């Protein structure tokens, strides 16, 4: 049986998120991040929050409803990353009017196992 990291388990539950925190916390900053293919998503319900840098995966993202100029629409953000030695996929829905929404992690496998597969 696989022992999943406690933080990863907690983030596997759908919960509130904020997109593109910090200095780039604007719709324009979010669009720039999307254009670069890398966004920040912060889970707000952990102690101090958990901010993840996510490389976007086009198969798990959808920006077709985005109206960046009007600052409206809900977009889907998805991508894989490693968190606490676990390979996970982030799923998030972000409302462009507020840059908030909901997100969760999908467990893939221990990062070490994933690395072995990539090397072979």
Per-residue pLDDT reduced to its tens digit, 29-63? 999 999 999 999 999 999 989 999 999 999 999 99
Query: If residue 81 lies in a helix (H) or strand (E), which one and from where to where?
Result: strand 74-83
**Three-class SS state of 31:** helix
What rounded mean pLDDT belongs to the chain? 91
Alpha carbons 44 and 40: distance in angstroms, whole number = 12
CATH number at residue 109: 2.40.250.10
What are the backbone angles phi and psi of residue 113, rounded to the nearest 5°?
-65, -40
Alpha carbons 16 and 89: distance in angstroms, whole number = 16
Q: At 25, list the tokens.
A: 């916390």
From 7-11, 89-93, 106-110, the region with the lowest mean pLDDT: 106-110
Per-residue pLDDT reduced to its tens digit, 15-25? 999 998 776 78
pTM of the model: 0.87
Residue 85 lies in a domain: yes
Whose tokens are 């992690």? That residue is 105
Residue 62 lies in a domain: yes
Range of the domain at 114: 6-119
Which residues have C-beta within 8 Å of that of residue 36, sequence separation ≥ 6? Answer: none
In the chain, the number of structural domains is 1
Q: What average pLDDT does this structure show over 99-118?
A: 83
Residue 1 lies in a domain: no
Whose tokens are 């990539």? That residue is 118
Please, is 22 exposed, middle or buried when counting C-beta atoms within 10 Å of its C-beta (0-12, 13-18, 19+)? Answer: exposed
């Amino acid at each position: 049986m696989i022992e999943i990291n406690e933080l990863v388990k907690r983030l596997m539950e759908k919960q509130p998120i904020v997109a593109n925190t910090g200095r780039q916390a604007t719709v324009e900053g979010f669009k720039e991040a999307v254009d670069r293919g890398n966004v920040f998503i912060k889970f707000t319900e952990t102690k101090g929050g958990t901010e993840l840098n996510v490389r976007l995966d086009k198969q798990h993202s959808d920006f077709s409803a985005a109206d960046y100029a009007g600052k409206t629409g809900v977009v889907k953000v998805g991508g894989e990353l490693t968190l606490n030695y676990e390979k996970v996929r982030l799923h998030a829905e972000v409302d462009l009017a507020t840059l908030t929404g909901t997100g969760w992690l999908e467990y893939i496998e221990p990062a070490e196992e994933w690395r072995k597969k990539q090397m072979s």
